[in-house]
Structures are given as C-alpha cells and as structure tokens.
A and B are shown apart, each in its own frame.
Chain A
Amino acid sequence: MTLMFMGYFLMVCVVFSSQTAFASDSFFSIPRLKGVESVFNSNYQSSCGECHFAYFPGLLPGRSWKKLMQAKALEDHFGEDAELEEPDRLEILNFLTRHAADDSHYKRSIKIIRSLKADSTPLRITQVPYIQRKHSEIPVRLIKGNKKVRSLSNCTKCHTQAKEKGIFDDDTVFIPGHGAWD
C-alpha cells in the first residue's frame, strides 16, 4: 500500500517536473508559467478568429477587452464592422476578461501588465510597450514590408508555436522569407 502510494507520488512528481511550462526568475520566487495562457472558446474562435488570429485573452488587460468589445466599438473595429449578436458578444467578453492578463501567472502576461501604466487602456496589442520593445530590433522590411507577414498584428505568421501553445519565445520564431530570428 505504502509502496503504491509512493509510486503514485513519484509519478505525480515526474509529470509536474517534466512540464516545461514552468519557469521562474529565481529558485525562490513563485513559479510562473511560460508564454501566455492558451485558452480557447469556440464562440471566440468562430466569431473573431474568422478574420484574424484569435489573440489570447492574456495579451491585454481586462479593461482593454471591455473597451474593445463594447457593442458600439465593434461597429468600427479598426476600420472594419465586427458587430456580433448580443449573446455572442457577452459570452466572448466574459471569456476575454476572465482570462485577461491582469491576474495571470503567465510570464508574457505579467510583463505586459508591468509595462502598462495603470491608466492606459491599449486597444491594440501592438501598442503595449512590452510588445513594442520586444519587436523594436526587427527591421520594417521583415514585418510590414514583408508580403507574407504584412503587419505586427499577424503574430502567428512568425510565432510558430503561438496558436496552439501560447509560446512566443525567440527560438520558436520563423520569419517567412527570412528564417529564424536570433
């Protein structure tokens, strides 16, 4: 019995330690998770993901999602009409705010929040200081001037593990027409 329990305990340890998702600044700090939380909502995927990468909620604070997802705001969504039927709008808004960056334990979300002033409510992920800083060294021709990328907002064109895993590490970047980035 004790042996069985120990075996089970060992298995749990192995499972946890093998999850590479854990990373921390130092041994003593609270472990934080890599990337952003990769959560999915089928309504969000179909309603928003039909036009663009369904950005993970952890890429913006809740206050940004609230502003973006106002019914009026959706009528002029960066120049496009992105109106939703009310039940869909509310479900998606709830999903986005529940998993927003604010209280996240994921590394990228924490850094996004830290880089924002408390009174700033960015409507674009590309306006977040942390995101801007992380991309500041990449020449314009590789993003905006790159026909296969077109815009910094097309995360998944270069971040090959973003869509499925919410991983944005440098070593997972592959810029179309250019190659790896280091």
Chain B
Amino acid sequence: MRTLWAAVLILGFASPAMAENIIPEMLKTYEAAGASHFDAKAGSALWHKKYAAPENAESPKPRSCQACHGVDLTKWGAHIRTGKEIEPMALSVNPKRFSEAKKMRKWFRRNCKWVMGRVCTAQEKGDILTYLQQQ
C-alpha cells in the first residue's frame, strides 16, 4: 500500500515537470495523413506570409502569424485585437510549448482559419512546426 502511495505521489509531482516537446509525434500523425519531407524554410515562409483581412473584419490590417505572436519568437506576443498576452513560441525560452496535442490541434485550427481563412493542411502544419522547433 505504501509503495502504491509513493508511486502516486512521485507521479503526481513529476508530471508537471514532464512537459516535453511532442513535435516529433505530431509530425508522425501528419505523415500518416499523407504529408512528408517537412521543411523549415517552407514553414518560415508560411509563418511570415501576410494575408489580406476578410472584408467583414473589424480591422483591415493584413493578417499573419507574426501579427499576434510578434517578430521575436523568444518574446511575448499580444493579440492584435484583444490585447491578450501570448507566451513566447520559442522552445528555447518556453519549454512548455508544444507539449499538449489537444492544445496544438485547437490553436492550429483556430489560427489557420483566422490568418488564412481556411484550415492548414497536414503538410503546412508539419512545415510550420519544423520551423518553430528550431527557434
């Protein structure tokens, strides 16, 4: 019984520190969906590309990943409309990044639609993550 509790305690305390980069696993799921040869350069190009805001948008400012995440990925970003503070994207300063598949799915979906007006393909997501992983 005591060992069981010890195990529970150890696991319980250890888990928050176990946040680790799951990009390699995510890339495998994209490969399973037909994508391949992920390319940081292509990811960077997508990340920096500017898209025209939709006609009904509140602000006519062009949209891009950088618009909210900021130019320097090691610094905090801020949502251009709501001002919500966004944690740095770079793993080098924010090791908690890219550790939750659910969160990554959620934000890829929302943000691709916001920036590009459509969901990203598996290839695009893989390229972007490959680029971000290097920051």
Are B102's CB and A82's CB within 8 A?
Answer: no
Are A79's CB and B58's CB within 8 A?
Answer: yes
Q: Chain A interface: which of B17-25, B37-45, B105-113? A: B105-113
Chain A residues within an 8 Å CB radius of B57:
79
Contact of B106 among A52, A80, A84 (CB under 8 A): A84
Describe A's contact surface by its main secondary structure: loop
Are B106's CB and A85's CB within 8 A?
Answer: yes
Are A81's CB and B82's CB within 8 A?
Answer: no
Report the count of interface residues on B (CB-CB < 8 A). Answer: 15
Q: Give the size range of A's interface with the partner.
A: 10 to 19
Contact of B114 among A81, A85, A150 (CB under 8 A): A81
Chain B residues within an 8 Å CB radius of A81:
109-111, 113-114
Chain B residue at minimum C-beta to C-beta distance from A79:
B58
Apart from A81-B109, A85-B105, what 7 extra A-B contacts exist at CB < 8 Å?
A47-B106, A51-B82, A52-B82, A75-B113, A80-B110, A81-B111, A83-B106
Chain A residues at the B interface, C-beta cutoff of 8 Å = 46-47, 51-52, 75, 79-85, 150
